[in-house]
Amino acid sequence: MTVGPLLYVDMPLRAVRRGRAMAGSELTNVKSPRVKAARRLTKRAFRDQDRKFLAEGPQAVREALKLDGVTLELFSTAEAELRHPELITEARLKGVPVHRASGEVMAELSQTVTPQGLVAVCKLVHVPLETALKEPRLVAVLAHVRDPGNAGTVLRAADAAGADAVIFTDASVDPYNGKCVRASVGSLFHLPVVVGAPAAAAVRQLKERGLRVLAADGAGKHTLDDVDLSGPTAWIFGNEAWGLPEELLADADDVVRVPIYGQAESLNLATAAAVCLYSSARAQRVP
């Protein structure tokens, strides 16, 4: 009685294996030039040199494909083609080369323990500081933020809060780091991102655009409850371990801390940034 259902459940996997055997174009050699060219993008020096980066996973690929001309090629396992046929179709409709890759090749390209079977090669998407600051009302500045997971989560929170731009200063992690791209869950493709701006120059231009620059720091004299956030605001977030440098604290219009009502010693960087950004977003939207 169970033979039929078992055969039915197994059919997709058998079809995939049959397809692999018939597909002569499947990439199986991890040392092939195409795979090596993509694999080198896991290192920042080569990303900077080639002006490309890797976006891994269905959500990142989906958001990348929404931007014309950003996705240059797509690697997909046969299993991922079955799970996400709409992404494969969209890529082909947009003229993006789609390469079927074996599990071994995908493991070479993936920077996760459990690859999701989709990796896109994309153009760098950041913009100049002047372009990002046309008419900003809410901006997040990452200064000396070194953890890519934290940085990507702040980028995601800024996107969710409706920020107009995110600035990665020259002392911060590369937003195209694989862990940062994954942590942003596609938000990297949603709003203007600036890379490598000197922190002091960024603060100066933010002030020139009429934004109030607030430094988020646990030692701030004022809390979020004390400050008016209804106007255009830029938040500076620093390194989770040692905070912001003294010169940036001095350059800010005010140093603000998130109030701790319970017994926790502090909030981690990404959580504190989300609270600050949402506080500004809400204040700016209150009639």
Cβ–Cβ contacts within 10 Å for residue 198, how many?
12
Q: Which band of pLDDT confidence, cut at 50, 70 and 90, is reported for residue 1?
A: very low
| pLDDT tens per residue across span 76-119 | 999 999 999 999 999 999 999 999 999 999 999 998 888 899 99
How many angstroms separate the most distant Cα atoms in the chain?
A: 76
Res. 6: pLDDT tops 70: no
Q: Is the pLDDT at 13 greater than 80, yes or no?
A: no
Tell whether the model's pLDDT for residue 58 goes beyond 80: yes
Q: What is the pTM of this model?
A: 0.87
Helical packing angle, 85-93 and 58-65, nearest 10°:
30
d(CA 275, CA 212): 17
Tokens of 173: 């992690």
Ordered structural domains, the chain, with CATH = 3-123 (3.30.1330.30), 129-285 (3.40.1280.10)
Q: How confident is the model at residue 219 (pLDDT cuts 50, 70, 90)?
A: confident
Tell me the Ramachandran region of residue 243: left when phi exceeds 0, alpha when psi lies from -120 to 50, beta otherwise: left
Better-scored residue on pLDDT, 12 or 231 = 231
Please say whether the beta carbons of 257 and 220 come within 8 A: yes
pLDDT digits (tens, 9 = 90+) for 130-174: 999 988 999 999 999 999 999 999 999 999 999 999 999 999 999
